[in-house]
Amino acid sequence: MSILLNKQSRIIIQGITGEEGLFHTRSMVAYGSNIVGGTSPGKGGEWVLDGKYPVFDSLKLAVDATGANTSVIFVPARNAADAMLEAVDGGVSLVICITEGIPVQDMMKVKHHAGTKGARVIGPNCPGVLSAGQSKAGIIPGHITMPGNIGVVSRSGTLTYEMVYALKQLGLGTSTCVGIGGDPVIGTGFTQILGLFEDDADTEKVVLIGEIGGQDEEAAAEFISRNMTKPVFAFIAGVSAPTGKRMGHAGAIIEGGRGNAVSKITSLENAGVKVGHNLEELATWLK
């Protein structure tokens, strides 16, 4: 079983004719994802990847023709917010935005609008979602994980890759890997994904990978203490990060003494979460 994504998910790629869109669509197809087409304004009627996948001028046309329920966005930052709004208004229930560099105010509008429409947005600035052995929507390499019972949710794409590969090296697999993104405003946070894992019968353990900045990890700790019955393991990146200096992600900055790694680790440990010093240590504990 899995959360968010499975073999039946019908995936549309927004920006399918671009270099990144084509490259990663080919990778998703190779993994077995059910890609049903893509969009690129002005190129409707064309076909890509050896004429197997139709291109539509708009998301609404694509949904009407294919029954798509999931969208993956490879659109430049200047147009990505509009692409997410188009996906939500077009009737897609799961929108996954890979694009980085989207202005915070634009993302605030997208998050609010998606909430009014009952759609779920993952990202932006994220690697997407991979349900091992079933489907992937995004850029997570398919070969670094295998099916299993461990759910992974992370703010960092790279650390997601390292975690699932470390698990695979020990013969451990994942149910679903979700990269929620590292921007200050994202569509779906830790607590929502943790709730989905808690309700998933085939996810037995959960790994949470956080980082400095914001208070999502503290909110996750409170949620875990009140709602989670499954064991949660965590890693927090940025223990040695200086105050006031952004580290990698736009949201990874400690300001006014808030959002530092120590406070996040303390909150999680108080909630009964086992927090590791590195990802390999977590993998060993899970073994």
Give domain status of residue 131, yes or no. no
Question: For position 251, what pLDDT does the model report?
Answer: 47
Lookup: tokens for 195: 């709730």
Contact between residue 142 and residue 31 where contact means Cβ atoms under 8 Å apart: yes
Give domain status of residue 219, yes or no. yes
Please state the domain count of the chain. 2
Task: Identify whether 24 is a catalytic site residue.
Answer: no
Give domain status of residue 75, yes or no. yes
- pLDDT tens digits, the chain, 287 residues: what are they? 689 999 999 999 999 999 999 999 999 999 999 999 999 999 999 999 999 999 999 999 999 999 999 999 999 999 999 999 999 999 999 999 999 999 999 999 999 999 999 999 999 999 999 999 999 999 999 999 999 999 999 999 999 999 999 999 999 999 999 999 999 999 999 999 999 999 999 999 999 999 988 889 999 999 999 999 999 999 999 775 555 555 554 444 454 455 688 889 999 999 999 999 999 999 999 99
Question: For position 248, which CATH number holds?
Answer: 3.40.50.261
Give 184's contacts (C-beta < 8 A, 6+ positions apart).
104, 213, 214, 250, 251
Contact between residue 133 and residue 146 where contact means Cβ atoms under 8 Å apart: yes
Considering the domain architecture, whether residues 148 and 115 belong to the same structural domain is answered as: no
Considering the domain architecture, whether residues 253 and 171 belong to the same structural domain is answered as: yes
Contact between residue 7 and residue 134 where contact means Cβ atoms under 8 Å apart: yes
Contact between residue 187 and residue 112 where contact means Cβ atoms under 8 Å apart: no
The Cα-based distances of 128 to 32, 157, 194, 246 in angstroms read 15, 8, 16, 23
Query: Whole-structure pTM over 0.85, yes or no?
Result: yes
CA distance 245 to 255: 9
Considering the domain architecture, whether residues 61 and 114 belong to the same structural domain is answered as: yes
Considering the domain architecture, whether residues 57 and 177 belong to the same structural domain is answered as: no
Give domain status of residue 136, yes or no. no
The distance of Cα 164 from the centroid of its chain, to the nearest Å, equals 14
- Residue linked to tokens 């609008």: 113
Question: For position 258, what pLDDT does the model report?
Answer: 54
Residue type at 100?
A: E
Considering the domain architecture, whether residues 282 and 155 belong to the same structural domain is answered as: yes
Lookup: tokens for 28: 């998703």
Question: For position 214, what pLDDT does the model report?
Answer: 86
Give domain status of residue 1, yes or no. no
Considering the domain architecture, whether residues 168 and 219 belong to the same structural domain is answered as: yes
Query: DSSP letter string over the chain?
Result: --SS--TT--EEEETTTSHHHHHHHHHHHHHT--EEEEE-TT-TT-EETTTTEEEESSHHHHHHHH---EEEE---HHHHHHHHHHHHHTT-SEEEE------HHHHHHHHHHHHHHT-EEE-SSS-EEEETTTEEEES--GGG--EEEEEEEES-HHHHHHHHHHHHHTT--EEEEEE--SSSS-SS-HHHHHHHHHH-TT--EEEEEEESSSSHHHHHHHHHHHH--S-EEEEEE-TTPPTT---SSTT---BTTBS-HHHHHHHHHHTT-EE-SSHHHHHHHH-
Considering the domain architecture, whether residues 92 and 194 belong to the same structural domain is answered as: no
Considering the domain architecture, whether residues 107 and 182 belong to the same structural domain is answered as: no
- Residue linked to tokens 């917010």: 81
Question: For position 109, which CATH number holds?
Answer: 3.40.50.720
Domain of 162, in residue numbers: 141-286
